[in-house]
Amino acid sequence: MVPKLRAVLGLQFAGALQSAYRNLSEDLAQCNTSGGLACDLGCVEHEKVLEESFEPWWDHQMPWRTLLHICELQRQRGSAQAFLGAIHEKRVFFTCCSQSSDQCEASALLQGLTDVEVLLGLVAELAQVVLQDTVFLFNTGDQPLTDRAYWSPVPQFHWVRSGGHWTVPLPNPFQLKAHAKNLLGDSEGNQGNLVPWGEKIPKLFWRGALSAPDLFALEDIGTLPRVRLMKLAKENQDLFDVGITNVDREMYRIAGRSRVQALVQQLGGTVKHEKSQQQMPRYRYLINVAAVLSSWRLVEMLATGSLLLLQEGADHELILEWLTPWEHFVPVSQGLSDLVPTLRWLEAHPDLAERIAAQGFRRFKERVRRQDTWCYLWQAFRAMADSHTPPEPAALAALTAEPGWREVPAEKLRKLKRHRRRILHKNGLRVATVRESDWKALEDQKEKRRHLRSMLSALGDVLERLVFSSSATVYRPCEEPIDEQRPLGCTNPYGWTKFMIEQILRDFVVANPSFSMSILRYFNPVGAHPSGRIGENPHGPPNNLMPFVQQVAVGRREALSVFGSDYSTHDGTGVRDYIHVDDLAEGHICALQKLFTMDGGCITHNLGSGTGYSVLDMVKAFEEACGKKIPYKMVDRRPGDLGTVVANPGKAKADFDWQTKRGLQEMCNSAWKWQSNNPYGYEEGGKD
């Protein structure tokens, strides 16, 4: 059962809370946490509004189920008491921080350091002392985390980046109501997303603040993109409806309020402060010209269903993590020189413009409304809280093995005790497949097992949980759906190595009863990261079907050899159970989460779809993905190959509610996106 969300913190609160926590013992003596909340919690005025409009979306889309209360702190004294009190009362807690809000500027609470290390350090203390079962979900608003490599066992944690910084894809707390409405884009409350294109406002809306650089000179203001946009709007009033939602206080401080107002009026705009709770409207086109396109701003823009016009700037990496140009958004230059011609062209092609806007909105729902995205974040932050104080990057690097397969000294591993409580064991070197079963491969597998025993010996008093990546090759050949009770028996050194490692791990659990172990047996992982940046890059001739098909599609190989055309299958070719790598990653998270509910023991699960696809099914799906024919030739069967090998993944569904979500076409689409961007793998211009 997934715990309920109990705390939402803003980074702006970190410094003030740290200061209050220094005197926590004194504060706790003044706060009757056992009898309720004795501290002044200030306003709870948002509670009713948010419960009415926000609760249904929250309840359906988040891994936790209940939103109890939302509170704001009003005074600095007693912040630690109120924090602990809200937690003990099982309330959701956050600080309001809106840079466009006058109240926040005057609040002492929001003058603290925006330092993620301070915040994580404090949370680690609280988690260790009084909040051991609390789930923390952090909200950074516009503030990026520092550009450092914080340790996290969840690789999906970094799937949003902004200019090299890690950011969290969550809205500012003040924007919750607006986001709740926008996220219900297909509900009765937001039917504007379904309005025909011709009936929408045929103008462009600017979402951003008029701000100034640190060294501001009034005569140079015409070079700012936002001012450039206003000039274009004044010259092309039939296309634009530019509104200033906020004027940066820094600009007021340096240039003066009267100068700013005069400049804005000269450019044809009006100075106004938009209420933070107001829902962003849907315009035909929506452009952001802020200095930094934060992840939550991108989420908010996509949620409107408008056609996004995004500049090619420092945040281009963030945009490409989410979206594809001319499929989900329309790119424009940093200087906006091509903005007006682009708008004229889109106006002349309304069907294409509407299709791009619709695909962008669908992409938003796929990435943001999908529950597993929030699970990634929950697991990442829970891991950070559980790992006590995060190690400094330099210190962590010193505890890491050098590249290649080398033994990590036991003393180094033991130093990780205060930082790590679980390990995902991934053998970095796959040295034996069906085609590589020679004596050298056997020696390498023997060396692998020796290193595993060394690791377990070193971590016997440190490690508490381990997830091991095994393989379906440990099963005895069988053409019926394979469950975890099927007899084991391998046909190649790779399978036998997995089999023997499994046995070593089971023996280790018997000798250490409090140790929790998860063994995951894969069935044919395929596909790539949806960004197209991470994919399978085999060295030498591929040994698996999907990479071979990919290389044929990009012209590296002439044709695919199909081994056997006379099996008892629907088209005569072999049938296998394929699983998308993203589903596989989610399976690891679910297994790790399951281990936290155990007091020891070993569990084994299959990770497969339960559905079989033939070789020709794969070829046909890949042809649709790449838009070209895949040449193939039928050849004789390979010795030992079976006609059908399919998993029975029912146990994983029953034990930790995991099942595959992505089908064959999505596997092929993502694989082609990576291969087409990297024809020769990660080595540009390389050769086979």
Q: Is residue 46 exposed (0-12), middle (13-18) or buried (19+ Cβ within 10 Å)?
A: buried
Strands (E) in 204-262, as ranges, are 204-207, 209-210, 246-247
Residue 170 contacts residue 373 (beta carbons within 8 Å):
no
Residue 18 contacts residue 102 (beta carbons within 8 Å):
no
- How far apart are alpha carbons 400 and 194 in whole angstroms? 52
Question: Which residue shows structure tokens 């004795």?
Answer: 38
The H or E element that residue 416 is part of is none
Question: Which residue shows structure tokens 């390979």?
Answer: 638
Residues known to be catalytic: 494
At 65 the three-state DSSP class reads coil
Q: Is the dihedral of CA 288, 293, 296, 302 positive or negative?
A: positive
- How far apart are alpha carbons 159 and 376 in whole angstroms? 10
Strand partners, 516: 465, 601
Nearest residue to 425 (alpha-carbon basis) of 388, 463, 375: 463
Task: Quote the radius of gyration of the chain (alpha carbons, Å).
Answer: 28
Residue 588 tokens read as 């690891």
Which contacts of 527-531 are long-range, i.e. CB under 8 A and separated by 24 or more positions?
A: 527/580, 527/581, 527/582, 527/662, 527/666, 527/667, 527/668, 527/670, 527/671, 528/581, 528/670, 528/671, 528/673, 528/674, 528/675, 529/581, 529/582, 529/670, 529/674, 530/582, 530/670, 530/673, 531/320, 531/321
Q: Is the dihedral of CA 550, 554, 556, 559 positive or negative?
A: positive
What 3 state SS string does 320-335 have?
HHHCCECCCEEEECCC
- How far apart are alpha carbons 110 and 142 in whole angstroms? 14
